[in-house]
Structure 1
Amino acid sequence: MTVGLGRLARSVEEVGMNLGAMQEVERPNYRPYAAQPGDVFITSWAKSGTTMTQQMFHQLRMLAATGEPDMEFDDISRMTPWEDTARQNDFDMTAAQRAAPRGFKSHREYERLEPGMRYIVTLRDPHETYHSLHRFFAGYLFESGSVSMEDFLPLWLMGGPGGCDYFTHLLSWWARRDEADTLLVTYRWAVTNKPAMIRRMADFIGIAVDEAMVGQVEALTARDFMYAHKDKFDDAMIKVAMAELLGLHDLESSKVKAEGSDAREVPPAIAAQIDALWAERVAPVTGHADFASLASEIDARA
């Protein structure tokens, strides 16, 4: 049964039509998330380091449990499941995971996650996320060239599936920066100081590491390595669901790019709107006039 438009969207509104149609289909194997003590949520905002952090988390727990890394999967989000796409993917969120602790992906703010768990969050400059999300969705959720960066703002404000707007997410986790159950860093710091990030994550999830293990995880999360295995990080399960439900095949979707996103690619008028929203919503709460200032405080804490 094909639902939705039967083709890729050509406008922001049509993206919503396709995604909404997928959500309405009954899926026999779907089971919702059921909390267990010690669960870990990797819950960065869209295009803010979620995939790298999922890979880091999974390889740490697999090395600790088996002594070996694990690349025997088709989709990293099968290893750290994503509740907000589980219905479309006909996925059982209660299925056993390969090692402890259990890990789950999300783009949500704290207030809509299960309380009493552990949360790993990487924050990224909003302009960089804008460019990254636009080039990720092009050829995947909408036809390449059909939605310009100037027209993309409504989709950016939505975040990823089940998420929230960028500013709600940032303020939610900023408020929890001193909580023991939250590991909050910036994406740039995590990439630039990856051995330190690996050690911090390992300590946070209760895994003892030595220098050899840190080196292994660093290599397994390198951009070149993940790009060479990009088919494992490109939403394989969602693509299968989109082929089945929407009749869409050969979709372009690679979360791991050969080169990072560039905030300078964001049109000046859009950048000004993002900056205005920051001034209205973030600056009065945090005391930081822009992301660079806020990141400096978070990085100094790391």
Structure 2
Amino acid sequence: MTDTEEETLERDLKCFFREAFEDIAQYATDPPDVQPLVDYFVNDGFMQPKLTEWKGYKMYGIGFNIDTIKWVYENWTPWKDDVIVASFQKTGTTWARYIVRQLYFRHDEKLMAMTKNMAMPTIYLETGLPVKFELLEKLPWKKRVLVTHVPTPLLNLEKIKSAGAKIICTIRNPKDLMVSWYHMTLKFPMNPKATKYFEMYPKDWNQFFDSCFAGKQLFGNKEGEWYMEHLLSWYPHRNDSNVLFVVYEDLIQYQEREIKRIADFLGVAVSDQDVSNITEETSFASLKEKSNASEKLVNFFRKGKVGDWKNYFTVAQSEKMDALVKEKLADTDIKFIYEL
């Protein structure tokens, strides 16, 4: 990358993140200065990715900041009826979030407009800087739809529960998850000089598989850990009164049923027609067509299929994943769905 290309990337990133935060700030009463957030995402997120660590868990670049989730753990209190979609990346996070958005805000035109472009920079607990929460507190909503990708040791679950907030955990088979994550990492607008990033996220599929499988991708995990450890941190909470597990493949097969489950969990009354309308509004095709700038940037809604892993995994890779699942999840009742 030439100096001119690097300058162009930096300029484009500044424009993108400034628009992302200003789009939200226009709805806030006396919003904070968003420039520090823009600078963080551009510089520490993508131009010169920063490594942060807490409790042995690490995050590297892409705007994810372990210091911020530490601040959240120690200082932040959610509101009653806040929903946190807590998931490993590419397991249906955004799909679940849009379903909750429809359930909560579908009768409020202003809140539907305000939340339309909310994405990773603004509503993920662990991204950016703590000043982001000052912005979120000043928006005209009484309950919020937020997201996190971190395992439970990095969340103050007791405080979340006592505040009356609820958590939706999404689960997806690890083979399709890995393929989807691979394609997303190819789209991140990372500075090509960030060699550590490309060591973690190689463009070659086989190298990517090895890096991901070995827990070398630092995205809120300990080195050497991956999806299985994330699931195992959440599994003991599957029956907590404020936690609901949602399976990605069930959303594909039985979307109306799962929307009704989520509505019941949140205490939102819905008619059969409501469920039908929300199903249409949150179908994969609809979400892809209406995706916002952040989602288009990284091809958020790529295929939404079950079994695409067969186009990428070798027999040896598939068997290796099967063995890992059998070893790690032996004491759980989690059964992944790899094809429909």
- From the superposition, tell whether residues 52 and 24 of structure 1 become closer, same or farther in structure 2 (CA, over 3 Å): closer
What secondary structure sits across from 1:35 in the alignment?
Answer: coil
Contact 1:55 1:76 in 2 (8 A): no
Contact 2:85 2:167 in 1 (8 A): yes
1:183 maps onto 2:244 in alignment: yes
In 2: Cα distance, 1:40 partner to 1:196 partner? 19
In 2: Cα distance, 1:111 partner to 1:21 partner? 20
2:181 match: 133
Deviates further, 50-59 or 95-104: 95-104
2:298 match: 253
| Within-5 A mapping of 1:12-91 | 19=61, 23=65, 33-63=76-106, 66=108, 70-73=112-115, 75-77=117-119, 81-87=123-129, 91=132
* Equivalent residues, number: 266
- From the superposition, tell whether residues 233 and 211 of structure 1 become closer, same or farther in structure 2 (CA, over 3 Å): farther
Tell me the TM-score normalised to structure 1 length.
Answer: 0.71
What secondary structure sits across from 1:202 in the alignment?
Answer: helix
2:55 match: none
Q: Which amino acid letter does the alignment assign opposite residue 256 of structure 2?
A: P
Gaps of 5+ in 2: 1-38, 50-57, 193-197
- From the superposition, tell whether residues 259 and 266 of structure 1 become closer, same or farther in structure 2 (CA, over 3 Å): same
> Which protein, 1 or 2, shows the higher relative CO under an 8 Å CA cutoff with sep ≥ 6?
1
1:146 shift after superposition: 5.1
In 1: Cα distance, 2:83 partner to 2:44 partner? 34
1:179 shift after superposition: 2.3
Q: Which amino acid letter does the alignment assign opposite residue 211 of structure 2?
A: P
In 2: Cα distance, 1:67 partner to 1:57 partner? 15
- Among 161, 167, 170, the residue aligned to 1:122: 170
In 2: Cα distance, 1:186 partner to 1:21 partner? 27
In 2: Cα distance, 1:125 partner to 1:17 partner? 23
1:134 shift after superposition: 0.1
Contact 1:159 1:166 in 2 (8 A): no
| Within-5 A mapping of 1:1-302 | 3=43, 19=61, 23=65, 33-63=76-106, 66=108, 70-73=112-115, 75-77=117-119, 81-87=123-129, 91-92=132-133, 94-115=136-157, 116=161, 117-140=165-188, 147-152=203-208, 153-155=210-212, 157=215, 161-162=219-220, 165-232=226-293, 234=295, 252-258=297-303, 260=305, 262-264=308-310, 265-283=312-330, 285-286=331-332, 291-292=336-337
In 2: Cα distance, 1:158 partner to 1:100 partner? 39
Over the matched positions of the two proteins, sequence identity in percent amounts to 19
Q: Which amino acid letter does the alignment assign opposite residue 194 of structure 1?
A: Q
Q: CA RMSD in A?
A: 4.0
2:7 match: none
1:243 match: none
For residues 116-163 of structure 1, give each alpha carbon's deviation from its aligned partner in whole angstroms, at most 9, with x where no partner exists. 142111211001101010011113166799521221143463678435
In 1: Cα distance, 2:265 partner to 2:139 partner? 19
- From the superposition, tell whether residues 147 and 73 of structure 1 become closer, same or farther in structure 2 (CA, over 3 Å): same
1:23 shift after superposition: 4.9
In 2: Cα distance, 1:101 partner to 1:25 partner? 25
